[in-house]
Amino acid sequence: MKRIDYFWLRAATQISGIVFISQAIIEVISVRKEGFEWVFSACAFAFAISCTVTILAIVWNAIRARGQS
């Protein structure tokens, strides 16, 4: 079986992480406009999902590689 490629998963994790960190800094500085309080939660959710999917792909590849040896 072919391994799962990590390129897009790693890119999604890095991009969502950068956005999450920048939103966290904005949250600490408190310069957020009214009505955009949901953005921080959405960024945190996107980062958590991308990390989870990346970790699951790594585990899946490790399980499949162990079965082939």
- 6-10, 22-26, 65-69: range with lowest mean pLDDT: 65-69
What percent of the chain shows pLDDT beyond 70? 97
Q: Contact 20/43 with Cβ under 8 angstroms?
A: yes
Q: Contact 16/46 with Cβ under 8 angstroms?
A: yes
- Section 10-28 average pLDDT: 96
∠ CA 2-61-51, nearest 5°, is 120
| Domain limits, the chain | 7-68
∠ CA 58-63-67, nearest 5°, is 145
CA distance linking residue 17 with residue 28, whole number of Å = 16
H or E segment and range at residue 9: helix 7-29
